[in-house]
Amino acid sequence: MPAKSRFTKLDAFTKTVEDARVRTTSGGIVTVTSLLLILWLAWGEWADYRRIVVHPELMVDKGRGEKMEIHMNVSFPRIPCELLTLDVMDVSGEIQTGVMHGVNKVRLRPESEGGGAIESKALQLSEDDAAQHLDPNYCGECYGAPSPSNAIKAGCCNTCAEVREAYAGVSWSFGRGEGVEQCEREHYSEHLDAQRKEGCRIEGGIRVNKVVGNFHFAPGKSFSNGNMHVHDLENYFAGGDGIEHTFTHKVHHLRFGPQLSDEVVTRIGKKGMAWSNHHLNPLDDTEQKTEEKAYNYMYFVKVVSTAYLPLGWEQKTSVFDIPSELIKLGDYGKGEANSIETHQYSVTSHKRSLTGGDASKEGHSERLHARGGIPGVFFSYDISPMKVVNREARSKSFSGFLVGVCAIVGGTLTVAAAVDRALYEGGSRLKKIHSN
Amino acid sequence: MNGHNGFGDSGLDEDNFGESSALKAVKAFDVFPKTKPSYTEQTNSGGIWTIVLVLASIWLGATELGRWWVGETTHTFSVEQGIGHDLQINLDIVVHMRCEDIHVNVQDASGDRILAGNALHKDSTSWVQWGNDRKLHYLPKSKDERLDLSGYPGFGEYREEDVHNYLGAARATKKWPKTPKLPKHVFPDSCRVYGSMEGNKVQGDFHITARGHGYMEMGQHLDHKAFNFSHHINELSFGPFYPSLVNPLDNTVATSENHFHKFQYYLSVVPTIYTTDPKSLKKYTDKYHESPSSGEDGMKQHHKRYAKDTVFTNQYAVTEQSHAVSEMNVPGVFVKFDIEPVMLTIAEEWASFLSLFIRLVNVVSGVLVAGGWLYAMTEWAKEMRSRGRRQGNGGYEGILSPAGPSANGEKKGF
């Protein structure tokens, strides 16, 4: 035996000499059980360590000069594409210029024929396509209105669209274009009549400045008259062929910014309390129906910036450092390592007849609707100052995992030792009683 | 193995009675060193130490259990789902003007005008009846005043929100209190406007103005001397009506001597859910239903509307400004409200039973191990001391005396 130093007494790991050791069956069972328990708990700890959790954080949106993409897919079964226009305006009511857009108008078969797509045509937000097969020296008349500034040939109205534009510029109603040479040549009224029964779907995206604004679908060409934004409604209200146009519509899809992938959505949804944080677009697949021509739908949208930062994401360059003109429509907000800058929104819908009246149909006779206005579907969006950041993280670090395992092993063994001791003592007491 | 068993022959005979070989094999795994009683020694100090350790682990375990029992309050936020339509406004206000002289309206961002006067009740009353024995207060200006909400247990600004307070308050009566009867020969000089109404869930302006001022078409002109927009707000809340939930504007009073005075309140309304059952809430939150926080309309569509464990309501932040205006302006009480897109969920959750068990095990074992170590150290320290003393006496015995057990035994003497 080695000489006893003064530290011998400090030995926390007192050892029993082999001769004095006792092994019991109960002890063995306790050992095996506690080993199994340790394995099970340690496996749980491992699973916990490997799990990726999403931490939602709320912060003030400090971005400046950002853009925002609006992606939409809305169909109007009772309005032909020829009549429908899309205007994007900012807070002051100015039509936004220079917005990047890729919106298609898809002509839809009449509702009675099932409503399939006929043809798709890129929508021009401000100008229309050029006249073709014309004498280079041709200069069409503008019928008393000044030529539009964006005419192909200054001072002329070479196409029906340009005549309509010119009329819109001086707030004249254009009607069906009878007696207008350009339009008769282009069979404007025939086209219009042929399309009367059709519907229209508008799909695609626009990129706007991230400021308060609105976009709306309304009939006829729009023009600004002083401070007023006016649409040429004559053709819409006139109808024809026994067709009454209405703004019955179905929103297939409306989102602000890129879509999170399904995988990401389920991952956000997985975390116990994040049930309310899943990224859904509340307006997707909603429908509103009316039989009234002069009817106005409004959606009040509040847009909240949302970022999704996956595991391993590090701030190197901001997505927004690249000039937005260089980014393809639909890619804006998609950063490196699959990080995504997008937006969620909450929405309140409102509808009213342009003839005013009260909301007694919905049981609110005290509610008086405003009168007048433009029939159409209006989305007015407001930007929230808050930003939600969903950050992926490991729920535990490696050392945290080790600490957890040690705690499990130590805790279980200590308690098992106490249990075993109790069994042993109890057993030997019993034996003593028996032997007596 | 056999050798050990052989050693234990005398004491453990009964272990071998009817013991299968399988059990014998298990025995080999026993890693817990037990010592035969004859080799162990029980001391007085060890016994006391054990009791202390047991008490310590009971105490720690009890606090752990208590913490588990209370649960953990989590605050989460989310962008409100569902397409909103209506927002219920609950109002109970006493204005120091006669009922026939005031107009109550809401004008909102959708262009609608809501004739709130038709939807709410108006009772003639006397100004002095309100505000004597009632705990009225001005809208608190300083931080100290905000913190001192002594009248409302559990609702102080920085007090931790106990979900159960809110659940309990929501279960209380949902009736509007009666207007006190006018005493005889008292001329009604005030008007109590109260009730619930549905507005559009958009930014809006709720206002009380005088007849003939502000809205052109209404009634004839009212004498300016009759203007007095002093008011008590007994209740102003949004969403389902829970009179016992206290909002910042409840029981506040604002007075003015001027006839032409404009009181303005700016409110930011935040949809809020208090719940003790966040997991089941998940099932019922979907985008096809209006948020139940917005009022009766939304509640009707929701499965959990009558659930005892969840309250759907709205909180709001308020700022106030009031000033005298010239006769060119419209005097009155104006409440401008806007709805925030981010919804709060205050949930109380219990950790799982398993995790409680693990924590308890950890606590007990930690105490035992640490306690054992401490015990060994105190024993060592004592022995060192006694050895030093004996050396001081010059006795030989001290050096020769066996280290362990005897020292323990001697301990009683000190």
Write the pLDDT tens digit of every residue in A292-323: 888 899 999 999 998 888 887 776 666 566 66
The pLDDT assigned to A379 comes to: 92
Does A405 contact B at CB distance below 8 Å? no
User: From B14, which residue of chain A is nearest by alpha-carbon distance?
Assistant: A431
**Residues within 8 A of B (CB atoms), A 332-371 only:** 344-350, 352, 359, 364-370
A-B Cβ pairs (cutoff 8 Å, strict): 240
**Residues within 8 A of B (CB atoms), A 50-89 only:** 56, 58
What is the token pair recorded at A253? 């899809």
Mutate to test the interface with B, among A249, A348, A383, A384 (most CBs of B within 10 A): A348
Residues B33, A16: contact at Cβ < 8 Å?
yes
How far apart are the C-alpha atoms of B285 and A382, rounded to whole Å?
24
User: From A386, which residue of chain B is nearest by alpha-carbon distance?
Assistant: B342
How many residues are there in chain B? Answer: 414
Segment A18-29, tens digit of pLDDT: 677 777 788 888
**Residues within 8 A of B (CB atoms), A 89-128 only:** none
What is the token pair recorded at B48? 């006391």
How far apart are the C-alpha atoms of A391 and A384, rounded to whole Å?
20
Does A309 contact B at CB distance below 8 Å? no
How far apart are the C-alpha atoms of B102 and A198, rounded to whole Å?
52
How far apart are the C-alpha atoms of B208 and B212, rounded to whole Å?
12
Q: Where are the alpha helices (DSSP H) in B186-305?
A: 278-284, 296-300
The pLDDT assigned to A8 comes to: 67
The pLDDT assigned to B266 comes to: 94
How far apart are the C-alpha atoms of B317 and A83, rounded to whole Å?
45
CA dihedral A247, A253, A256, A261 (to 10 degrees): 180
Q: What is the mean pLDDT of residues A338-346?
A: 85
Does B304 contact A at CB distance below 8 Å? no
How far apart are the C-alpha atoms of A184 and B80, rounded to whole Å?
52
How far apart are the C-alpha atoms of A302 and A344, rounded to whole Å?
8
Segment A129-182, tens digit of pLDDT: 444 455 666 777 777 777 776 666 677 777 777 777 777 667 676 766 666 777
Q: What is the pTM of this model?
A: 0.76
Residue B43 CB: number of other CB atoms within 10 A?
14
Among residues A173, A139, A181, A137, the alpha carbon closest in space to that of A158 is found at A139
**Amino acid at residue number B149:** L
| Among A94-98, A427-431, B272-276, B362-366, the least confident range | A94-98
Phi-psi map region of A360: left, alpha, beta (phi>0 left; psi -120 to 50 alpha)? alpha
| pLDDT(A187) > 60 | yes
- Which pairing describes strands B83-84 and A340-353: parallel, antiparallel, or unpaired? parallel
**Helix H or strand E segment including B363:** helix B353-393
B305 CB-contact burial (10 Å; exposed 0-12 / middle 13-18 / buried 19+) = middle
Segment B221-236, tens digit of pLDDT: 777 888 888 898 888 9
Does A421 contact B at CB distance below 8 Å? yes
Q: Which residues of A touch B91 (CB under 8 A)?
A: none
Mutate to test the interface with B, among A57, A251, A273 (most CBs of B within 10 A): A273
Question: Cβ neighbours of residue A427 under 8 Å, at least 6 residues apart?
Answer: A24, A26
Indicate the residue of A4, A25, A364 with minimum beta-carbon distance to B26: A25
How far apart are the C-alpha atoms of A127 and A162, rounded to whole Å?
9
- The answer to whether A369 contacts B115, with C-beta atoms less than 8 Å apart, is no
How far apart are the C-alpha atoms of A417 and A31, rounded to whole Å?
9
- The answer to whether A275 contacts B282, with C-beta atoms less than 8 Å apart, is yes
The pLDDT assigned to B10 comes to: 42
Segment A69-87, tens digit of pLDDT: 899 999 998 888 878 888 8
**Residues within 8 A of A (CB atoms), B 358-387 only:** 358, 361-362, 364-366, 368-369, 372-373, 376-377, 379-380, 383-384
Q: Which residues of B touch A35 (CB under 8 A)?
A: 29
How far apart are the C-alpha atoms of B387 and A102, rounded to whole Å?
93
How far apart are the C-alpha atoms of A183 and A221, rounded to whole Å?
15
Mutate to test the interface with A, among B78, B304, B384 (most CBs of A within 10 A): B78
What is the token pair recorded at A364? 């609110």
pLDDT-based confidence at A9, cuts 50/70/90? low
How far apart are the C-alpha atoms of A167 and A165, rounded to whole Å?
5
**Residues within 8 A of B (CB atoms), A 191-210 only:** none
pLDDT-based confidence at A377, cuts 50/70/90? very high
Written as tens digits, the pLDDT of chain B (414 aa) is 343 444 444 444 444 445 566 666 666 666 666 666 666 666 777 788 888 888 998 999 999 888 888 888 888 888 887 788 888 999 999 999 888 888 898 998 888 888 888 888 898 888 887 765 455 555 555 555 554 544 444 445 555 567 777 887 777 777 888 888 887 777 888 899 999 888 888 999 999 988 877 776 655 677 788 888 889 888 899 988 888 888 888 888 888 888 889 999 999 999 888 888 777 666 555 555 666 677 766 666 666 556 678 888 898 998 988 888 888 888 899 999 999 988 888 888 877 888 888 788 888 888 888 888 888 888 888 888 888 777 665 444 444 444 444 444 443 333
Our CA-based measurement puts residue A435 at a distance from the nearest CA of chain B, in whole angstroms, of: 10
Our CA-based measurement puts residue B72 at a distance from the nearest CA of chain A, in whole angstroms, of: 12
The pLDDT assigned to A417 comes to: 84
- The answer to whether B202 contacts A431, with C-beta atoms less than 8 Å apart, is no
How far apart are the C-alpha atoms of A375 and A352, rounded to whole Å?
10
How far apart are the C-alpha atoms of B165 and A317, rounded to whole Å?
47
Q: Which position has the higher pLDDT, A226 or A154?
A: A154
What is the token pair recorded at B192? 């109590």
Running DSSP on this structure, what letter comes out for residue A191?
H
The pLDDT assigned to B343 comes to: 86
Q: Which residues of B touch A298 (CB under 8 A)?
A: 110
Q: Which residues of B touch A286 (CB under 8 A)?
A: 83
- The answer to whether A347 contacts B109, with C-beta atoms less than 8 Å apart, is no
The pLDDT assigned to B34 comes to: 66
